[in-house]
Amino acid sequence: MPQTNNRAELTGILRALEIAPKDRDLEIITDSNYSINCVTVWYQNWMKRDWKTSTGKDVENQDLIKDIRTKIEERDDQDVVTTFTWIKGHANDPGNEAADRLAVAGARLGRARK
């Protein structure tokens, strides 16, 4: 499967859910409205349509979206809250700028290994 920015954003969310303490509330801050909507809103209709879009195509990134939803639901079952906060990207937010630097470094490392 080709790597895209959307897959990278969703992978970051999944990793955060995997490493965060499972007994503590979690806020995930991201500049990706796509990712937030995938895992908080759109997935509901996709599930009803057997993971098809409104035009009948397979939902892109459904593997990651399903894994993220599983992690969120596991936390919900334990009364642990997972929230998502959108921030504007490339707006001098220190956390967002650091995340971008890490993503670029990771991408360079990945290319160097090929």
Span 59-77, pLDDT tens digits? 999 999 999 999 999 999 9
**Would the pTM of this model clear 0.75, i.e. be above it?**
yes
- Tens of pLDDT, residues 82-108: 999 998 766 677 766 766 666 666 656
* Cα–Cα distance measured from residue 15 to residue 1, given in angstroms and rounded to the nearest whole number: 18
Per-residue model confidence (pLDDT) at position 1:
76
**For the chain, where are the E strands, in sequence order?**
26-30, 82-86
User: The tokens 């955060």 sit on which residue?
Assistant: 16
Half-sphere exposure of 78 (CA within 13 A, CB side): 14
- Domain total of the chain: 1
Q: CA 42, 44, 45, 47: dihedral to nearest 10 degrees?
A: 120
Range of the domain at 103: 5-113
Of residues 111 and 1, which shows the higher confidence score? 1
Taking each helix axis from N to C end, the angle separating 5-19 and 62-77, rounded to the nearest 10 degrees, works out to 20
Provide the CATH number for the domain around residue 46: 3.30.420.10
